[in-house]
Structure 1
């Protein structure tokens, strides 16, 4: 099997540990377990007590009943049996694609978006069409392009909602149009849903609440601020979930007892985490807006209160060498747009701590003055 290098991961693997001011990441400022306990008001040894008498065996293979119940409750009509625990959203996406896509299938993927959603189908022998998003349309794709691409053998339509790297949220009306197109050929719709608009989560509609052949993937890495837990999940109808179970045995035995217990504790305190993260996102988004308004060499279609954004640079240099010089000379880390096939842009993860964000943006502005 041949597969392309994972552009953003290769960049981060090489350079993130060299950064002093990392404003490239798409997680909302990661938390420690102590941060979480302080947020909930529980005693410092609360979580440790839960673990002390727990055997470190394989645990619940698909995720504990508590985990599955908590996840299912976040959707309109989902049963716990439809939830399968995975190794992050990357594991969830891989499981869904590995289970469904066969050589010769036709797959349509939003583009640019998270690279798994088009390069894994390609590696599995699918014929992949790229459904492009357009900056002039606030990074939305055109539904007429999807209608023109659909074929009788279209197996799967892949979306990233909200989009990585742009932060654009596809609303319920648009998703409903996608579903209507998918229904014409019985295609599945897979949506990576790790980014939640925290200004108003009710604006978000999961694909599984719109379409019986919808498949949602998610994790605790982005909106929940716990990427280190490495827990995600798939949600699909009963038939598809049973198919996933078969393939899951080849990709993952279990999430681990420790990780499952921590995931349950995080999900039990979802409202407190989201309140903390909403305040952080809205504060930092205001900082980002102000910086863009006062930085003549940067413009941006602003994100929908999610943790990733994709500004555009007005400089006479390719973005990747610029970002590398920026890191080496100032300690500021961005992800160049070339890693998303968006030359001239860069991914800015503005949901780090405020000091890192302000310092990183200030150093970026100073570095841009060389082009004035």
Structure 2
């Protein structure tokens, strides 16, 4: 199986540890272990007393009953038995492709997006057609274009809602149109839902609440601020879940006793986490807007309270060259847009800790002055 290098992950693997001001990521300011344990007032001693006598065996293979129950609450009508625990959302996406995509299948993928959502199907021999989004239209896809792209043999439509890197949100009306198009040919719709809009006025339903052949993947890494717990999941109908079970046995055994336990604790306290993260998103988004409005060489289609943004840089050099030199001279880390096939842009993860964002933006402004 041949597959291209994973642009974003390769970039972060090389440069992330050199950053003083990491404003490249798309998670909302990660908790320390002490912070997430104490989110509901639990002390570290109380937490460890509950788990310290547990056997470090394989635990619950598909995720504990408590985990499945907590995840099922995220959807309208999702039986816990249809939830399968995975190694992050990347593991969930891989499982879906491994189980459903075969050589010769036709797959439609929004683009730009998380590279995994199109290059894994390609590596499996699928024909992948891009449903392009562009900045001129505020990164909103054209539903008429999807109607032109769909084929009788289309096996799956792959989406990232909200979108990484642009922060674009597909609302319920557009999702329903996508479902109608997919249903006309019997295609699956896989939606990576790791980015939840934290604007209380923006309600985005999960694909599994709209479509029987919808597949939702998610994790605790982005919206819930615990990427160090490598726990994600698939949510689907029972028939799809049973197919996934067979292929899951070949890709992982379990997430681990400790990870499952901490994942349950995190999900039980999701409301407190979302309140904390909503404050971070709104505080930092206001800072980002002010900064962009004062930067003549930067423009941005602002995200709707989603933790990732994609700035356009008016600079006379290659964006990757720019990002490397920015990191080496100022300690500021961005992800160059060519890693998403969009040169001249960069992913700016504005939902890091506020003091890091403030300092990172100040240093980025200082660096941009050389082009004035």
TM-score by length of 1: 0.99
Which deviations, in whole Å up to 9, do the C-alpha atoms of 1:133-170 show, x marking residues without a partner? 12122211111111111111100000000000011110
Q: CA deviation at 1:202?
A: 5.5
Q: Which residue of the partner structure matches residue 44 of structure 1?
A: 44
Partner SS for 1:14:
helix
Q: Which residue of the partner structure matches residue 115 of structure 2?
A: 115
Aligned positions of 1:280-299 closer than 5 A: 280-299=280-299
Q: Which residue of the partner structure matches residue 240 of structure 1?
A: 240
Q: Distance in 2 between matches of 1:358 and 1:43?
A: 31
Q: CA deviation at 1:43?
A: 2.5
Q: CA deviation at 1:37?
A: 3.3
Q: Which residue of the partner structure matches residue 27 of structure 1?
A: 27
Q: Which residue of the partner structure matches residue 10 of structure 1?
A: 10
1:90 maps onto 2:90 in alignment: yes
Q: Which residue of the partner structure matches residue 150 of structure 2?
A: 150
Q: CA deviation at 1:270?
A: 0.4
Aligned positions of 1:220-299 closer than 5 A: 220-299=220-299
Q: Which residue of the partner structure matches residue 209 of structure 2?
A: 209
Q: Distance in 1 between matches of 2:344 and 2:205?
A: 31
Q: Which residue of the partner structure matches residue 58 of structure 1?
A: 58
Partner SS for 1:311:
strand
Which deviations, in whole Å up to 9, do the C-alpha atoms of 1:39-59 show, x marking residues without a partner? 311233122022122111101
Aligned positions of 1:174-213 closer than 5 A: 174-200=174-200, 203-213=203-213
Q: Which residue of the partner structure matches residue 140 of structure 1?
A: 140
Q: CA deviation at 1:32?
A: 1.3
Q: Distance in 2 between matches of 1:100 and 1:46?
A: 43
Q: Which residue of the partner structure matches residue 313 of structure 1?
A: 313
Partner SS for 1:185:
coil
Partner SS for 1:45:
helix
Q: 1:202 to 1:82 in 2, by over 3 A?
A: farther
Report if the CA contact (8 A) 2:37-2:265 is conserved: no
Q: Distance in 2 between matches of 1:131 and 1:18?
A: 35
Which deviations, in whole Å up to 9, do the C-alpha atoms of 1:82-126 show, x marking residues without a partner? 100000000000000111000000000000001011000000000
Partner SS for 2:241:
helix
TM-score by length of 2: 0.99
Report if the CA contact (8 A) 2:299-2:312 is conserved: yes
Unaligned runs of 5+ in 2: none
Report if the CA contact (8 A) 2:161-2:192 is conserved: yes
Q: Distance in 2 between matches of 1:14 and 1:283?
A: 30
Q: Which residue of the partner structure matches residue 322 of structure 1?
A: 322
| More deviation, 126-135/44-53 | 44-53
Q: Distance in 2 between matches of 1:79 and 1:201?
A: 27
Q: CA deviation at 1:201?
A: 7.4
Q: Distance in 2 between matches of 1:368 and 1:353?
A: 22
Q: Distance in 2 between matches of 1:217 and 1:202?
A: 20
Q: 1:230 to 1:16 in 2, by over 3 A?
A: same
Partner SS for 2:57:
coil
Partner SS for 1:85:
strand
Partner SS for 1:108:
strand
Q: CA deviation at 1:287?
A: 0.3
Q: Which residue of the partner structure matches residue 351 of structure 1?
A: 351
Q: Which residue of the partner structure matches residue 67 of structure 2?
A: 67
Which deviations, in whole Å up to 9, do the C-alpha atoms of 1:178-234 show, x marking residues without a partner? 000001100000000000011227512100000000000000000000000000000
Unaligned runs of 5+ in 1: none
Partner SS for 2:37:
helix
Count of matched residue positions in the alignment of Structure 1 and Structure 2: 372
Partner SS for 1:28:
coil
